[in-house]
Amino acid sequence: MPNHLAGETSPYLLQHADNPVDWYPWGKEALEIAQTQNKPILLSIGYSACHWCHVMAHESFEDAEVAAAMNTHFVNIKVDREERPDIDQIYQSAHYALNHRSGGWPLTMFLTPEQKPFFGGTYFPKEARHGMPGFLQLLPKVAEAYHTRTEDIEQQNAVLLKLLVQSLPTSETDASVLSRQPIDQAWQQLNRQFDETYGGFGDAPKFLHPAELQFCLRRYVADNNTQALHVVTHTLEKMAQGGLYDQLGGGFCRYSTDRYWRIPHFEKMLYDNALLLPLYAETWLVTGNPLFKQVVEETAAWVIREMQASTAAGGGYFSSLDADSEHEEGKFYVWDRQAIAAILTREEYAVAAPYFGFDRPPNFEDQRWHLEVVQSIEAVAANNQINSEAAQQLIDSARKKLLNEREQRIRPGRDEKILTSWNALMIKGMARAGQIFEREEWIDSAMRAMDFIHDRLWQDSCLLATFKDGKAHLNAYLDDHAFLLDSLLTLLQASFRQADLDFAITLADALLTRFEDKTSGGFFFTSHDHETLIHRPKTGHDGAIPAGNGITTVVLQRLGYLVGEPRYLESAKRTLDIFSDVLSHQASSHCSMLVALEEFLEPTRTVLLSGNETELQVWLKALVPCSLNIISIALPHELSGLSDGLKKRSAPDGKVSARVCEGRHCLPEIHSLNELLQVCRVHGRMALP
């Protein structure tokens, strides 16, 4: 019989609906049962694409003996961390406080009926092995501790809750005296952490760190720091050549298990690819490296082909592809050498084998190969005594054949819930890549997703977090609002629509009303009318995705100057104020907030174009090479009902004109494209009247 998860929309929760465990979703019913029966809560947090979540499910949650022990001793609650990042944040922090090490997924936490954690870990095997306690033996011991060590648990909880409160940012610094010091410090820290050989930061497991790489790219654009550009280009090259990147179908996996970007955990997440698309596109804009263009084209194609709902279904982006297929991680992606030789011609194999490493020992389990680029086209061509163009044609032909063959396999599961925050990141990525490479179909893809969010997840002047099977629900979080506002500003630059500007202003007002800490500054992760939990985070550090407070501060400053709204600028300043101390002590983990700091110290240059639609497009395209350090928006004369802030800056006649502003200071109108390009190419402050 299905348990209490059967009515949920989350694919992850539905994966567990037929477990013998009496699972409940997080909610009033489960929490009240725990209190009424004085039972501890077993909270299990994961997500549908997570390999180790599947392993623990198969070993324990599908096992009748384990399920019986769980049902006897606990009220069991299953949470999708993608739908409830608020709950995940709290209990990941609690795990760190209790165990003095980072958590992960699956997260397994044991709580009092008042939701306070007293013990926890991540993955537990059914039986003890490799120094890990067995889940079956652990369950009765944890339950006994709850009932017999009440006083110890209460004392521990008091300390834990105090630590959570102390994690909230506080500062007495006035933002008006902020300086570049944390920006310079963050760069120095990142440069020390940089892996000069293989790229990226730190050792295995190696994550993508897109916010940090974007920050390094800014250091080159703003400061002409060539080492910062090397950090970015070397890392992006190594990532694109490794097994982290799907060499046949495009798109990146979540992280590499090794230092070399060779073998990933095979789940492919929407948010990772959303953040890498504009990073690769903007780095191509600086370098012209054809590999970066190839990665953008292949990843964008993968997104539209596999991760976007049809126009008839609304056009939103799906969340992820599973790491596993047929209960085996990576099975969809890895190869047997004999099978490859049978698919390719002799000429194709002679080139593909050294290029992808088939002529080397297997790099994956059970004598199989996962594709990575191990030799350059030039080296492969020379060894085969052919030119590089011929070698590239053979590689392209081999890739096409292998992809067609792979398409016949049983595919990994796809999580088809549509998350507002992750959709917003991908809208920005597709719009920005489309702007840089002049690909209207990518911009159209972003617009379809934005219209879906506006139509289905913006209800009664309130943003919702998730959509699946015709149902939108759950109060949206800070990240949803911040990322969506950021994506609207990006879309306005790629293709101006009045509805997007109106939505941006409405959304910014909602963000201030529902999330801002009016007393201390900054923004809570949950809204003021959100369910009461044991802690209300206000985080500024970047993780796999940028920090909501950082992105909020950036976009409020940009929108504030764009439409002339001082409230947005004041809220941004208060946020920088409260995070100023943590920026001084933990600079490199707050790169998104440092972008906001940089733009507080020196506002991003904004170019407002107005005039005939056809000529405007010529000017806009000419400005793309400058778009790493300016915001450019074209306002055709045919538009009506512009906001007051833009009316003041729009040209009164049929000519194309440009207003270039830095903060509140603007140059006289410019009517020459060459003059505009000269102004926009100038680094540092403009000579303002």
* Spatial distance between the Cα atoms of 70 and 68, rounded to a whole number of angstroms: 5
Spatial contact of 80 and 47, defined as CB atoms under 8 Å apart: yes
Mapped onto helix, strand or coil, the DSSP state of residue 77 is: strand
Q: How far apart are the first and last CA of the chain?
A: 75
* Nearest partner of 628 among 34, 69, 229, judged by Cα: 229
Confidence of residue 636 (pLDDT cuts 50, 70, 90): confident
The alpha helices in 438-497, defined as continuous H runs, are 440-452, 478-494
- Neighbouring C-alpha atoms within 13 Å toward the C-beta of 520: 13
> Which band of pLDDT confidence, cut at 50, 70 and 90, is reported for residue 687?
very low
Distance, CA of 317 to CA of 449 (rounded, Å): 7
Pick the CATH number of 333-408 from 1.20.1630, 1.10.10, 1.25.40, 1.10.8: 1.10.10
Residues 6+ apart with CB under 8 A from 528: 514, 515
Average confidence score pLDDT of the chain: 94
Q: CA 572 → CA 397, 476, 527, 554, 578, distances in Å?
A: 52, 20, 18, 8, 10
> Any idea what the Cα angle at residue 575 is, between residues 572 and 580, rounded to 5°?
125
Worst-scoring range by mean pLDDT, 144-153, 154-163, 558-567, 640-649?
640-649
User: Do 333-408 and 605-680 have matching folds?
Assistant: no
* Mean pLDDT for the stretch of residues 205-226: 97
CB-based contact 328:420 (threshold 8 Å): no
DSSP letter at 460 equals T
**Alpha helix locations (H) across 516-656?**
548-563, 566-585, 591-601, 613-623, 644-647
Tokens coding 465: 């977090």
Question: Which amino acid, residue 419?
Answer: L
Domain boundaries, the chain: 11-166, 184-325+415-601, 333-408, 605-680
pLDDT tens by residue, 239-260: 999 999 999 999 999 999 999 9
Q: Is the link from the previous residue into 636 a cis peptide, with omega within 30 of 0?
A: no
Spatial CB neighbours of 393, under 8 Å, sequence gap ≥ 6: none
522 pLDDT more than 90? yes
The CATH fold assigned to 184-325+415-601 is: Glycosyltransferase (1.50.10)
Phi/psi for 145 (5° steps) reads -60, -40
Task: Kindly indicate the confidence band of residue 655, based on its pLDDT and cuts at 50, 70 and 90.
Answer: confident
Note the pLDDT of residue 688.
40
- Percent of the chain past pLDDT 90, that is, above it, reads 92
Please give the C-alpha separations between residue 380 and each of 154, 349, 350, 375, 384, in angstroms, as whole numbers. 66, 11, 9, 7, 6
If you ran DSSP here, which 8-state letter would residue 517 be given? Answer: -
pLDDT band at 612 (very low <50, low <70, confident <90, very high): confident
| Per-residue buried b or exposed e for 140-173, using 16+ beta carbons within 10 Å of the residue's own CB | eebbebbeeeeeebeebbeebbeebeeebbebee
Tokens of 15: 């994966």
Name the class of domain 605-680.
alpha beta
Q: What is the mean pLDDT of residues 613-633?
A: 93
Quick: pLDDT tens for 327-337. Answer: 999 999 999 99
- Percent pLDDT > 70 in the chain is 96
Q: For residue 177, what pLDDT band results from cuts at 50, 70 and 90?
A: confident
State residue 118 phi and psi, 5-degree precision. -125, -10
178 or 377, which is more confident: 377
41 DSSP β-pair partners: 75, 111
Q: What phi and psi, each to the nearest 5 degrees, are found at residue 612?
A: -65, 135
Average pLDDT (78-103) is 96
The string of pLDDT tens digits covering residues 301-325 is: 999 999 999 999 999 999 999 999 9
Residue entry with tokens 């390094």: 216
| Cis ω before 205 (30° cut-off from 0) | yes
Looking at the DSSP bridge assignments, the partners of residue 194 are 201
100-116 per-position pLDDT tens digit: 999 999 999 999 999 99
Architecture per CATH, domain 11-166, reads as 3-Layer(aba) Sandwich (3.40)
Return the SS3 of 206.
strand
DSSP 350-371: HHHHHHHTTTS---BGGGBB--
Of residues 499, 485, 497, the one with CA closest to residue 428: 485
DSSP string, 259-275: TTS-SEE--EEHHHHHH
Give the residue carrying structure tokens 């020379």: 382
